[in-house]
Structure 1
Amino acid sequence: MRNVGTVVRGIRTPIIKENDDLASIVIDSLMAAKESEGFEFKDKDIVAITEAVVGISEGNYVTVDDVAADLMAKFPSKKIGVTNPILSRNRFSIILKGIARGMDKITLLTSFPADEVGNGIMDENLLDESEFNLASVISEDEYTENFGSWKHPFTGINMIDFYRELIESEDCEVEFVFSNDVKTILDYTNDVLACDIHTREKTVKLLKDLGANAYGLYQIMAEAINGSGCNPDYGLLGSNKATEEKLKLFPRTGQDLVEDVQKRLVEMTGKQIEVMVYGDGAFKDPVGKIWELADPVVSPAHTGGLIGYPNEIKLKYVSDNKFADLKGDELKEAIKNEIREKDADLTGQMITEGTTPRVLTDLIGSLCDLTSGSGDKGTPVIFIQGYFDNLAND
């Protein structure tokens, strides 16, 4: 009888640079790991590749000047509202530099007490004690007077001060407004760049329906400018700081990559191995209160076997209810039979209560992101075995 279920391995690779043959690097690294660790490939194994090295290998970069040029073409007034950007040096500071370089004035509206993914900008206890509430519109002066001394406990930085200094360093004027209603920006300007991630299309439609000249961040650098990189699906969403003047975009060739890697692995191993590209995991830190998903999706590319949802019964529910009178081996065998005979689609049945109702790629991508981390582990490829197994698989 098997005594191990899912096994996850971080696979070390060479340092990946622009124009590298990423598919060959992934496969060679897997084969080297197989030899050193002694595992064998099986059907339904999963190979996952972090989006960072996909974007690097494909050379999908844009410069601050590229961003500025695209913004100037879309906002000839050179005075715009920027709504609900992520408060992040890695994710948004270089984008903001490009916006400021192309514009004369920015009215920057941010939600409070935190941004979309939980990055805080004020002491929530002070907010509770103040005259303001979540429906208030707080001016820049009111923010400075009441909350401006606050610094994030992890970074030691007040992101409003950081963004102000960055914008002004590009000879651009800035005014901050704090509101949880994006329509507030229309009291200041009719030209709006909406920077929210997960409600992006809804926000742009809302602003356009109210007569605004509105674009989403996903529509900036959706096409190449003077030979630059681009992302037709996500624009600047999912980008990361590469240098002080350059951004690495979310990958655009991921689907070709995963299908190539899968085809070559099937030919080499004779096993049906699934492949995906993953970015941020879809989980929230209960201490830092950060929702990790700053990318537009967890997995921008994956092979067909990873489409769908888990179809699992809750062992605890079955044990406590249907088989409450059984114990030991008899209980285990009864549950195994329950698993073998479960419906192909358990949606809506009580037997699934307590299982995680999320798409497979979100679950697997979160597992991969937690395994590879964002630091110095050096494992941009994750190899997963037994993910689709259950207790009935001996």
Structure 2
Amino acid sequence: KKVVLMLSYPSDEVGNHLISWDALDAKGVDPYKDVLTLERYRELFGDNVHRFTGVDYVKYYSDLIRDCGAEVEVIFANDARAILPYAKNILTCDIHTRERTKRLLKAAGAEAVCGLDEILTSSVNGSGYNEKYGLLGSNKATEDKVKLFPRDCEKFVNAVQKKLVAKTGKLIEVMIYGDGAFKDPIGKIWELADPVVSPAYTAGLSGQPNEVKLKYLADNEFAELCGDELKSAIKEYIRNKDKDLVGNMVSEGTTPRQLTDLIGSLCDLTSGSGDKGTPIVLIQGYFDNYTAE
């Protein structure tokens, strides 16, 4: 058996770099067109390890395939269709671009295309499963086991919210989070290796912020005011703002993202999966604004 492993370069879709853009430029390599063999890759760039983990991922994945009893050939390309001269039966392993990748491969003549999201969508001999995401979002548990992305999450968050209301009398919003959606400016890694930040959340967390840019108001709408007069004017503006500020300059520079992506990122940065463990994160005051007394 033989596996042809195609890796994108200089990084994968979440920013783990095999090599740097500067190294590509120095060698005159065009990642949008050039398909590299392993031999050519090593000739140009040598052995490269991840700056944080110290792992040579090209070697790591090659060894993993060989250890399973298969021959491996490695190529580097960024157009999914570049794999077709080497193989016609394709397992796509990307996360956020998976639907486009499958579509391109099928249209270009692939005989069979399967994504990680299509594996273990139902139980096999008593195994776990995730009907929506399959193997996407899974984590290595042992050398021969993985933990799958959680399922049945909506029932869980709604049940927790119901219990909290019964015990406290307070309506507390609940969400399950995994990877945040932030990008590390040093390592260039986009944290979101899960299919979504939050697989489930209660109704009050739907939507995205509808905020005004305070600095814009202070410098433009109320440039002639200062001190308490400025504070009062801004508070009054916030109280009477439009329900939808999309396209309004006063909202430019705020954060037009889903609330669950923002809050999930906050939670992930707070807890992590290292020494801190992964505790419950209680967030208070998130929806307060400048008008709150």
Band of TM-score, shorter chain = over 0.9
In the alignment, structure 1 residue 374 sits paired with structure 2 residue 277: no
The partner residue of 1:206 within 81, 91, 104 is 104
Give the Cα separation in 2 of the matches to 1:197 and 1:175: 22
Give the Cα separation in 1 of the matches to 2:232 and 2:281: 33
Q: Structure 2: give runs of 5+ residues left out of the alignment.
A: none
Give the Cα separation in 2 of the matches to 1:360 and 1:319: 26
The partner residue of 1:121 within 10, 13, 18 is 18
Percent pairwise identity: 59
Residue in 2 aligned with 1:227?
Answer: 126
Q: Secondary structure at the residue paired with 1:214?
A: strand
Q: 1:150 to 1:269 in 2, by over 3 A?
A: same
Give the Cα separation in 1 of the matches to 2:99 and 2:255: 27
Return 126-135 or 151-160, whichever deviates more: 126-135
Residue in 1 aligned with 2:138?
Answer: 239
Residue in 2 aligned with 1:183?
Answer: 81
Residue in 2 aligned with 1:385?
Answer: 284
Measured against aligned partners, the alpha-carbon deviations of 1:200-235 in whole angstroms (never above 9, x if no partner) come to 112112212223210111111111110100101101
Whether the 8 Å contact between 1:277 and 1:301 is mirrored in structure 2 is: yes
Residue in 2 aligned with 1:139?
Answer: 37
Correspondences of 1:82-161 after superposition (within 5 Å): 104-134=1-31, 135-161=33-59
Give the Cα separation in 2 of the matches to 1:230 and 1:316: 48
Whether the 8 Å contact between 2:19 and 2:48 is mirrored in structure 1 is: yes
Whether the 8 Å contact between 1:113 and 1:123 is mirrored in structure 2 is: yes
Offset of 1:265 from its aligned partner?
0.5
Whether the 8 Å contact between 1:122 and 1:148 is mirrored in structure 2 is: no
Tell me how large the CA RMSD over aligned residues is. Answer: 1.1
Give the Cα separation in 2 of the matches to 1:147 and 1:168: 23
Give the Cα separation in 2 of the matches to 1:216 and 1:114: 20
Q: Secondary structure at the residue paired with 2:174?
A: strand
- Greater RCO, 1 or 2 (C-alpha within 8 Å, sep 6+): 1
Give the Cα separation in 1 of the matches to 2:106 and 2:20: 34
Look up the equivalent residue of 1:116 and give its one-letter code: E
- Consecutive aligned runs of 4 or more in structure 1 exceeding 4 Å deviation: none
Offset of 1:146 from its aligned partner?
1.6
Q: Secondary structure at the residue paired with 1:292?
A: coil
Give the Cα separation in 2 of the matches to 1:126 and 1:115: 16
Q: Structure 1: give runs of 5+ residues left out of the alignment.
A: 1-103
Whether the 8 Å contact between 1:123 and 1:147 is mirrored in structure 2 is: no
Correspondences of 1:31-70 after superposition (within 5 Å): none
The partner residue of 2:205 within 296, 306, 315 is 306
Residue in 2 aligned with 1:79?
Answer: none
Count residues in correspondence. 291
Offset of 1:123 from its aligned partner?
4.2
Correspondences of 1:256-335 after superposition (within 5 Å): 256-335=155-234
Whether the 8 Å contact between 1:200 and 1:216 is mirrored in structure 2 is: yes
Give the Cα separation in 2 of the matches to 1:335 and 1:367: 27
Whether the 8 Å contact between 2:80 and 2:104 is mirrored in structure 1 is: no
Give the Cα separation in 2 of the matches to 1:211 and 1:220: 22
Give the Cα separation in 2 of the matches to 1:161 and 1:379: 31
